[in-house]
Amino acid sequence: MIKTEAILLVWGVRDEVLERLPVRGEWLYGEYDFIARVEFSDRAEMEAFEKLLVKIIGGHTYKLLPVMISAVKRNEKGSFSIVEVPGEFGLV
């Protein structure tokens, strides 16, 4: 079984809706209202999560972008994550 990771972006919803999302993430102020990194055990779990999102958000004002490559590099000064999404999504 291959674990699937994705980046969730949400926009155009009220704060009360963001509070009901079943994931932890960061609130943004700009083009998007919310960003989170989410993990799924398989593609079916990700599809079920998308159905739940539509129910909570009340529409399709979100993007769930599968991650192609991810890594974490640790050094003496702290740690940081490197995440790359497929080029077809225009976010590389």
pLDDT at 71: 63
How many C-alpha atoms does 90 have within 13 Å on its Cβ side?
1
Q: Mean pLDDT lowest for which of 37-41, 57-61, 74-78?
A: 74-78
Q: How far apart are CA 23 and CA 44, in angstroms?
A: 17
Is this model's pTM higher than 0.75 or not?
A: no
The DSSP line for 14-38 is -HHHHHT-SS--EE--SS-SEEEEE
